[in-house]
Structure 1
Amino acid sequence: MLKNLPVPTPLTAPYWEGCRAGELRIQYCQVCERHQFYPRSVCAECLGSVDWVAASGKGEVVSYTVVRLAVSEAYAEEVPYVVALIRLAEGPQLMSQVDCEIEQIATGRSVEVYFDVWSDEVTIPKFRLVS
């Protein structure tokens, strides 16, 4: 069974293009010098214009949950797995899967991004624990 694939929009296309290129992209406001994620047409802080920039891909686990029941048959072979709220080094937070043994996950753990190719069009950012 196939997983539901995200559908890029004009607003999110630079993010998905970055993922396909192996680069985690977030937005940066030239006016107030803040990074933001999820994609928006203007800065959430000052309403200034935003540009897409490459993030370091490094972050920290803020919170997490262990998914033990597959949301669909497409994920049945993956359970259990970890979904975490990651605070990127640049400041914004995002939700992502963390590829690790369940016993290893904890808040405060350092993580780094890697990319999982789901199709020719869609590559998903996921994270791994940093030793």
Structure 2
Amino acid sequence: MNAARADHAKPLPALTGLAGEFYRWCAQGELRFQRCEDCGRHRHVPRELCAHCASSKWVWARSSGRGMVFSWTDVVRPLHPAFAEDAPYAPVIVELDEGVRMLSRVVDCAAGELAIGMAVELVLTQVSDQVWLPYFRRSKD
């Protein structure tokens, strides 16, 4: 977990409902995803029903925080003005060991160094008093 607070003048996630629960786990230093108690599949983004079996029975299961770069794109002209100074940047889709994919960023890697299949690990970053965002860095293993 990265305890250094970032200067973050960007839109923040709403801390309500199931998304709020997800971000509260991050603030506690844990990446957790919903896991269906009937079929065992993990899911993200959080929602009431399993997309695979329609079960409403689930738990918050801790993630290993390990995964790989599944895909990315190069953003050279951001659509939101808060990201203008960051351009160019590369949002990535990380496929975690649990099978879920999430949009994030790799903080220690320039866009030109990204590779599909690159091993990454979680680094939680505090961006406000209440919000810790799940970012990734190249895996040390």
Number of residues paired by the alignment? Answer: 131
* Distance in structure 2 (CA, Å) of the matches to 1:22 and 1:81: 26
1:114 and 2:123 correspond: yes
TM-score, normalised to structure 2, is 0.84
Render the CA deviation track for 1:24-75: whole Å, top value 9, x for unaligned.
1101111111111110112211122111111111111111112222333432
More contact order relative to length (CA 8 Å, sep ≥ 6): 2
Determine what percentage of the aligned residue pairs are the same residue. 37
Query: Which has more strand, going by share of residues?
Result: 1
Structure 2 contact 14–20 (Cα < 8 Å) conserved? no
* Correspondence 1:2-41 to 2 at 5 A: 2-41=9-48
Consecutive unaligned residues of structure 1, counting only runs of 5 or more, are none
* Correspondence 1:1-131 to 2 at 5 A: 2-48=9-55, 49-99=57-107, 100-131=109-140
Consecutive unaligned residues of structure 2, counting only runs of 5 or more, are 1-7
CA RMSD of aligned residues (A): 1.7
Render the CA deviation track for 1:10-35: whole Å, top value 9, x for unaligned.
22222011111121110111111111
AA matched with 2:85: E
